[in-house]
Structure 1
Amino acid sequence: MPINSFQQAREKYRPANIKVLFITEAPPAEERNRYFYYEHVRRGDSLFMEIIKVLFPEEVEAFETVKAIRREKTYFLERLQEEGYYLIGAVDEPLPGKSSAARTHIYRENLPALMKEILGLARPNTPIVIISAVVYRAIGETLKASGFQIIHNEIIEFPNSGQQINFRRKLKPLLRERQLLPSPI
């Protein structure tokens, strides 16, 4: 299977040792040019912005605007890599226009391939965080039952459409409790 642009962008920032593996929705339609690992995103990158706010709050606070943070996206992607944080989608192809039910079905169908991908990336005991109600409901329990280390029992919503505060409210304490936050610079 040929490597797509999402996989290529992601692979550039793959940590040598993954400390935490995040699994989320399928990537956005390519023409939107706003994938998590794309270095030059002008808008619509709430997942990236919210993850770095949780992991590197002091560094993020040093910037006056979101635009200034986006200019430093490569730096923050490198920080994620250095600290061992990695993000993959439940599938690698965009699912534009698909309903939640359709995406759930696709995520479940792709689960064997996703499990294989996880095992190729991380150790069996690597902590995994699922970001998205749809993804969590589709694959969370099956991954847990298969021995993967999903470290939460509560849905962590995708941080858009007003869910940013809920996302930070759930993710930060979870990582703190598990001692998975990065060391301050």
Structure 2
Amino acid sequence: MMTKVSGFIFGVCFIFSSACGQAPNFILTSDQNNKWIDSLKTLPLEQQLAAINIRLLIDTNIYVRQFYNDRIRISDSLGNRVYGDGKPSLVVGGYFMIIDNGTKNGQIIKLTKLLTAHYIKEVGLLSSNNPKTLALYGTKGLHGIIFLTMTKKKYLRKFQRLNLKSNGYRYT
């Protein structure tokens, strides 16, 4: 079991460092985000989860501003902060996981360790192009929604311990 976890962590770190070591493909606009979500629909579960993990890790470098006047994405003086339109919402076992600009990288890394086929049996996707998304979820669906169904209900506690929640509000 430990070698599987170590192998997964190494794989995610390798893919992340390879992706970011070259020129990371930041997803900054709503159009890019919708294309990314639509591309996930064609992948098998393991690849969907890997793509979501990579996206979560790369998104740690993206600062989302709801509104900015010139609509230009700017990097800070160090060149490591990029501004984007938004990130998809993540719903695990019916609970929205809030991942915003204030989320600590350690929490995101812990989350990516849980996004495996051991814990997740199905990925459901709604892009913001789908009229149902905004009608059902309002502004939380503005950039699409990723629904993750657990293999066992008891695993939800592991996700809840990450403390990425929205006041316990549950969508079913």
Query: TM-score, with normalisation over the residues of structure 2?
Result: 0.27
The answer to which structure, 1 or 2, has the higher relative contact order (CA under 8 A, 6+ apart) is 1
Query: TM-score, with normalisation over the residues of structure 1?
Result: 0.26
